[in-house]
């Protein structure tokens, strides 16, 4: 009887999600023309190589052709930064709801914004599959390190997608310094998204605690190191981003990680010719001042978390 009830409830939720999808009309977003102009300029000055250089170009062309109002439904965007994650969504949600670190505040923070016409999570129709996954990342970090989010003073988000993790932390009340370190095309998309979700000032600018650093800028690692020296505790985030960059780029980033108090990295077993497990095992050994938790994700097999907390003076235990 109980199993039957659960099946009927799940079916009802999926029907509700389908109804929402069928009736939903995305709002007209502000600053779309500015986005298109910024994308053109960003693509022209992009110096990155590798797979993500091509993906950034695909995203730009899709937005130029399909419009910005429903950009989260464009195929190149769903392929990369806003995936359906059909098979894993129930596992993420079960884990979240069973965790003592999934507070009522976090559950409220998982409420999706209509900006960009996000996918609806059929198992949790108030949210999207990606936002639930980001909630899972955060809970894994909190469980592994006991990080106090209210004490956090700096977040550096390397490869931030369209800005969803910033949105989650802001919904939880985070207002301290947040640096996004990304390709120019993705930075343009993030500014567009976040100024529509959290417009501030007369020009609907993104929140004032946000700053951007450009991938490939030789001065970016030094800038991150300066921010870490001035703002502690500090969190570095790279979910399937550091693991998708060329090794030469990783080697410029790795030296600054020791300045953070907390590190959250998610990665896949291999990317192209790179054995990521071996790479991140070596990275872990190069940072002995951290207490590390390095393990395969039980919900996303073949993918791993490397989560660390600096165990020396200056870190937030």
**62 neighbors 75 (Cβ within 8 angstroms):** yes
In a domain? residue 152: yes
Helix axes 32-45, 51-66, angle to 10 degrees: 150
* pLDDT above 90 (res 141): yes
In a domain? residue 96: no
* pLDDT above 70 (res 43): yes
Greatest mean pLDDT among 10-19, 20-29, 38-47, 75-84 lies in 75-84
In a domain? residue 315: no
* pLDDT above 90 (res 306): yes
* pLDDT above 80 (res 102): yes
* 24 — pLDDT class (breaks 50, 70, 90): low
Give me the residue label for tokens 């030789």.
218
29, two tokens: 């977003």
* pLDDT above 60 (res 21): no
Mean pLDDT of 179-205: 94
* 113 — pLDDT class (breaks 50, 70, 90): very high
Mean pLDDT of 157-174: 98
pLDDT at 215 (0 to 100): 85
pLDDT at 133 (0 to 100): 98
In a domain? residue 300: yes
Domain span holding position 301:
133-310
In a domain? residue 275: yes
- What percent of the chain has pLDDT above 90? 78
pLDDT in tens, 243-293: 999 999 999 999 999 999 999 999 999 998 999 999 999 999 999 999 999
* pLDDT above 50 (res 56): yes
Using CB atoms within 10 Å of the CB of residue 151, give its burial: 0 to 12 exposed, 13 to 18 middle, 19+ buried. Answer: exposed
* pLDDT above 80 (res 152): yes
- Mean predicted lDDT score pLDDT of the chain: 90
* pLDDT above 60 (res 17): no
pLDDT at 147 (0 to 100): 96
292, two tokens: 């590390």
Angstrom distance (rounded) from CA 276 to CA 15: 40
pLDDT at 12 (0 to 100): 65
Number of folded domains in the chain? 1
Mean pLDDT of 202-221: 92
pLDDT at 314 (0 to 100): 45
In a domain? residue 265: yes
194, two tokens: 């976040």
**More confident call, 6 vs 192:** 192
CA-closest candidate to residue 174, choices 139, 201, 209, 130: 209
Neighbour order of strands in the sheet with 262-268: 210-214, 177-182, 154-158, 234-239, 262-268, 303-310, 290-296
* pLDDT above 80 (res 5): no
Phi-psi sector, 226: left (phi>0), alpha (psi -120 to 50), beta: alpha
* pLDDT above 50 (res 136): yes
* 315 — pLDDT class (breaks 50, 70, 90): very low
CATH of the domain at 271: 3.40.50.150
In a domain? residue 118: no
In a domain? residue 53: no
Mean pLDDT of 54-72: 91
């Amino acid at each position: 009887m109980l199993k039957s009830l659960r099946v009927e409830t799940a079916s009802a939720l999926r029907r509700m999600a389908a109804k929402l999808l069928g009736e939903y009309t995305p709002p007209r977003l502000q600053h779309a023309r500015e986005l298109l102009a910024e994308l053109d300029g960003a693509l022209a000055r992009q110096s990155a190589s590798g797979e993500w250089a091509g993906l950034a170009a695909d995203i730009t062309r899709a937005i130029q052709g399909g419009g910005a109002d429903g950009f989260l439904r464009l195929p190149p965007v769903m392929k990369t930064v806003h995936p359906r994650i059909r098979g894993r969504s129930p596992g993420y949600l079960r884990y979240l709801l069973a965790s003592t670190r999934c507070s009522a505040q976090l559950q409220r923070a998982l409420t999706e914004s209509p900006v960009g016409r996000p996918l609806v999570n059929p198992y949790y129709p108030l949210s999207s599959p990606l936002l639930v996954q980001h909630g899972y990342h955060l809970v894994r970090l909190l469980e592994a390190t006991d990080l106090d989010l209210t004490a956090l003073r700096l977040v550096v988000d390397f490869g931030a997608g369209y800005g969803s993790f910033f949105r989650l932390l802001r919904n939880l009340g985070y207002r301290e310094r947040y640096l996004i370190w990304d390709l120019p095309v993705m930075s343009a998309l993030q500014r567009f998204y976040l100024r529509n979700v959290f417009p501030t000032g007369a020009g609907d600018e993104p929140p004032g605690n946000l700053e951007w650093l450009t991938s490939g800028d030789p001065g970016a690692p030094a800038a991150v190191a300066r921010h870490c020296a001035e703002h502690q505790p500090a969190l570095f985030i790279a979910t399937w981003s550091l693991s998708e960059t060329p090794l030469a780029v990783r080697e410029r980033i790795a030296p600054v990680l020791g300045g953070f108090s907390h590190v959250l990295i998610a990665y896949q077993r291999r990317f192209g010719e790179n054995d990521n497990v071996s790479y991140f095992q070596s990275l872990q050994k190069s940072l002995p001042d951290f207490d590390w938790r390095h393990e395969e994700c039980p919900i996303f097999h073949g993918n791993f978390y490397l989560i660390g907390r600096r165990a020396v003076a200056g870190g937030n235990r």
